[in-house]
Structure 1
Amino acid sequence: MIDKQSHIPIYYQLEEQIKSMIYSKHFKPGDLLPSEREFAEKYAISRMTVRQAINNLVKEGLVYREKGKGTFVADKKFEQDLSGLTSFSEDMRNRGLIPSNQLISFDFEQPDEKLASILAISPTDMICKIKRVRLANEEPVALETIYTPKKIIGDMNVQEFSTSFYDYLEKKLHVKIGFGHQTIEASLANDDEATYLKIKKDSPVLVMERTTFLQNEEHTPIEFVISTYRADKYKFKMTMKRD
């Protein structure tokens, strides 16, 4: 299965062999891979070559290492299409998963100048700040903080707040969400993020910031949200056209 006479590097051939076994479900998420020694003996290649192939698979997020235990097959990442504006709950339901929340805090407060500017309100206006962990099938995927103007949502309380903030806006307040502006950047998990997402501090994360606007003549900002996603669980995609 490894052609040592091929111009294709041996480490790459092994890498593709392992990928094929993962994609065909021969190795399933959570399975322990054979050791470097076992791969080396099976294919009569060096352990250094095996290590290079495994390192590449770790970088791709297909497998992960646990010190003293070995290398395991990673869960498939959630893939979100950025070409449309959907809520986390809608996205998870579309995948056949059960979305849920772990509420951390729910408060009304005055915004700082930056938030007031983003939400197009006065610094004396009140905002609602909602901080929560987003879960899929009870597994933490993202840490989310929502800021929304009180003058739009009124006296919303924890009991009225369902799984999806968009459901609340559209079904209870009967407002129409129009569009959003979004940025995504790579970062490392701080103490707070590591605790709530159940990952190690300084693990890679993806930080998304989005401002969402209503579908009205004024394009009124309805929310500013900061979401920190586990990079080992999530990836984003979009379709791009050349003008």
Structure 2
Amino acid sequence: MKDLKGFIDRNSVLPLYFQVKEYLRNQIQSDHYKPDELIPSERELSEEFEINRLTVRQAINELVQEGLLYRQRGVGTFVSTPKIEQPLTKLTNFSTDMQNRGAVPGAQVVSIQVIPSSKQVAAQLQLETGEEVLEIVRVRTADGEPMALERSYLVYDLAKPLHGMDMENVSLYEVLEKFCGLKLVKAIQTIEVAAVYPEEAGILEIGQHDAAMLIERTTYAESLERPVEYVRSLYRGDRYKFTIEMNV
């Protein structure tokens, strides 16, 4: 490891831990430290910077809190894989979001079936409880890595052509427009932190106590005054983040 003393300005008004933190951030963002790569230990960094080990620890702790680094007990500290960012200012589908970020979108089908609507699903789709809906459960992937477990509920009378169709690695919104004449134009969406069940954690390849986000969306089609889709998606908190643009 190269001599790092020159990166520290002891006469600066910036705290030493902050200077170390920004040095490490720059190394991560410039791809000097690559995703899932082990960074130097606290001891190594403190010796190279010629500063207190607790100062280095504070810098690393803050980068862990920001999600740029993660720790493995007994092994060390690693660079996190960058999160995929999705804006919340426009209605888009998962496939388009991934393609816009240079990733290959995918969809692995868990199940497709016609079921009676639950009270919750019926309320979201403005149906009577028990009316038929088409339930499509898929694992959404980016470059083959699971990102979300998606449960879509569609008004069956409007989405009959999809029953029995191969939904592997296709965009649901594109299929709805092409085969059902439903162009989705508006949605109401909520986001909240959620716990995951063991089977969900296994599907998403995360720990049972890892962070996850539950996204619920009710989507409306052009020229219809009623919703056609209600979807509950469980997103990996370590690989996804949402942004909101606000104007005065």
TM range (shorter): over 0.9
Aligned to 1:47: 53
Kept in 1, the 8 Å contact 2:176–2:182? The answer is yes
TM-score by length of 1: 0.94
SS of the residue aligned with 1:154? helix
Seq. identity, %:
41
**1:166 maps onto 2:176 in alignment:** no
1:239 matched to 2:239: no
Describe how 1:1-243 pairs up with structure 2 within 5 A: 1-162=7-168, 163-216=170-223, 218-242=224-248
SS in 2 for 1:117: helix
Query: Deviation at 1:195?
Result: 1.0
Q: Which amino acid aligns with 1:137?
A: D
Q: Distance in 1 between matches of 2:184 and 2:165?
A: 23
Aligned counterparts of 1:98 and 1:239: Cα–Cα separation in 2: 26
Q: 1:176 corresponds to which letter in structure 2? A: K
For 2:226 and 2:127, locate their aligned partners in 1 and report how far apart those are by CA, in whole Å.
10
Contact 1:32 1:70 in 2 (8 A): yes
Q: Contact 1:130–1:145 at 8 Å: present in 2 too?
A: yes
Unaligned runs of 5+ in 1: none
Contact 1:190 1:202 in 2 (8 A): no
Deviations 1:49-73 (A, max 9, x none): 1111111111111111112221111
Q: Contact 2:98 / 2:142 at 8 angstroms: preserved in 1?
A: yes
- Structure 2, unmatched stretches of 5+, are 1-6
| Equivalent pair of 2:161/2:179 in contact (CA under 8 Å) | no
Q: Is the 8 A contact 2:114 2:133 kept in 1?
A: yes
How far, CA to CA, are the matches of 2:65 and 2:194 in structure 1?
Answer: 16
Map Cα deviations across residues 204-227 of structure 1 (whole Å, 9 max, x no partner): 1111110001111x4221111111
Letter of the 1:64 partner, please give it: Y
Q: What is the CA distance between 1:4 and its match in structure 2?
A: 2.4
Moved more, 189-198 or 125-134: 189-198
8 Å contact kept, 1:107–1:128 = yes
Are the aligned partners of 2:173 and 2:183 in contact in 1 as well (CA < 8 Å)? no
- Asked whether the equivalents of residues 109 and 167 of structure 2 are also in contact (C-alpha less than 8 Å), the reply is no
Cα deviation code 1:26-76 (max 9, x no counterpart): 111121100111001001112211111111111111111112221111111
- RMSD of the TM alignment (CA)? 1.4
Q: AA paired with 1:186? A: V
- Structure 1 stretches of 4+ moved >4 Å: none
**Kept in 2: contact 1:129–1:147 (CA 8 A):** yes
